[in-house]
A = this chain, B = another copy of it.
């Protein structure tokens, strides 16, 4: 058995640190999911979710992981053979593509090196070239959790609009929502895909889709097989504050509390806080003489910082040293980044001193693992945090 002599530092980029208030809200007897008390809860979390996703459209909440919500986006709107445009921004983009392949979509891939946001120039070019409008959907990952690079959905929307292309815009914001700005309606998103266990500060167990009228119309016209993920049945049941099958009641209790917490702090404050922490983490990385994975200042994620390991050093050996010596879990490098990078999550229920503990753990770990670096990352981070300045804060080119 693992003996924890203090609080474990869970600094992977999700699942994140669930607030005590949320865990305690979940720690309650379950309810009759067909009764009036449940309906009150159902209406509450549906309305609250709309405020968080900034939408008047239906928010579909599945008892599932975010991966399930990916599948829901696909099977509701697309049929085998449909062409989709996907951008290779990292491992989560790659996994979504794998899933699309399993459903026999015809994937047009905009390549990427896993160190930038999606290539918007290429996306626009492909759309411009698609005069026949064969492309049914453009699918991008908002916050690439495998690299720490952001693709701004509103910039993708602009590219699509410039090309006057009618494809659906589908956005995975599993690790974006609740950590950085997101506006389903204003940005013209057709299908939003999200999960509970990141910026929403919940345990894993809920997947989300938010859908535009256009996406809903597409789903009605779509004959692809589906049942569990079928939007229409959920929308119908939601009108009564219920779900077509047993919902994950206790995580919904938590969702109610998490939304309350986000709104008590204020969403804008939540986003500013994440940006400050990311700026501090990047300042530390720079001071250590290390490189972030993300190479474009415009696209740095406020939710996590992925760091390149110096050549000849194994990131997972380093992570193991950090875990064993300092009881901190850092994110591993995924797929092509396996062993080559580590990731520092600073998503969700998090504050300055938790970040400083985190960065001190990284700095001490680098030393114990004999990874070449300069000392003083923690000091650099403190300069950012003390300054109360928002330095190096990336921002979308369009609002």
Contacts and interface: CB of A to CB of B under 8 A. Distances in A.
Contacts of A358: 353
A29 interface: yes
A332 B34 contact: yes
A143 interface: no
6 contacts: A27-B27, A63-B204, A104-B225, A203-B251, A248-B248, A355-B357
Given A326-B351, A361-B352, A5 B265 contact: yes
Interface in A1-34: 1-10, 12, 14-20, 23-34
A336 interface: no
Contacts of A386: 364, 367-368
Given A80-B225, A358-B353, A17 B6 contact: yes
B195 A227 contact: no
Interface in A239-287: 244-251, 261, 264-265, 269-270, 273
A222 B23 CA distance: 41
Contacts of A197: 30, 246
A66 interface: yes
B6 A203 contact: no
Interface of A: 1-10, 12, 14-20, 23-37, 40, 62-68, 70-71, 80, 98-99, 102-104, 195, 197, 203-205, 225-228, 230, 244-251, 261, 264-265, 269-270, 273, 323, 325-329, 332, 349-358, 360-361, 363-364, 367-368, 375-376, 378-379, 382, 385-386
A175 to B, nearest CB: 11
Nearest to A244: B67
Contacts of A1: 264
The 5 A-B residue pairs with the shortest CB-CB distance, nearest first, are A6-B351, A357-B357, A356-B360, A353-B357, A32-B329
A378 B382 contact: yes
B353 A328 contact: yes
B353 A9 contact: yes
Contacts of A328: 353
A391 B237 CA distance: 41
A283 to B, nearest CB: 13
A102 to B, nearest CB: 4
A26 B1 CA distance: 17
A30 B204 contact: yes
A102 B10 contact: no
A6 B201 CA distance: 10
Contact of A326 (B26, B62, B350, B352): B352
Given A7-B351, A15-B249, A67-B246, 12 more contacts: A5-B270, A7-B7, A9-B353, A10-B31, A20-B28, A31-B329, A33-B204, A248-B248, A327-B352, A352-B361, A357-B360, A378-B382
Given A228-B64, A249-B203, A26 B27 contact: yes
Nearest to A102: B227
A269 B3 CA distance: 11
Most B Cβ at <10 Å: residue of A12, A18, A205, A270:
A205
Contacts of A225: 80, 102-104, 225
B361 A356 contact: yes
Contacts of A16: 30
Given A30-B204, A205-B63, A15 B246 contact: yes
A305 B343 CA distance: 34
Contacts of A350: 5-6
Contact of A63 (B64, B98, B361): B64
Given A102-B226, A245-B67, A353 B378 contact: no
Nearest to A101: B227
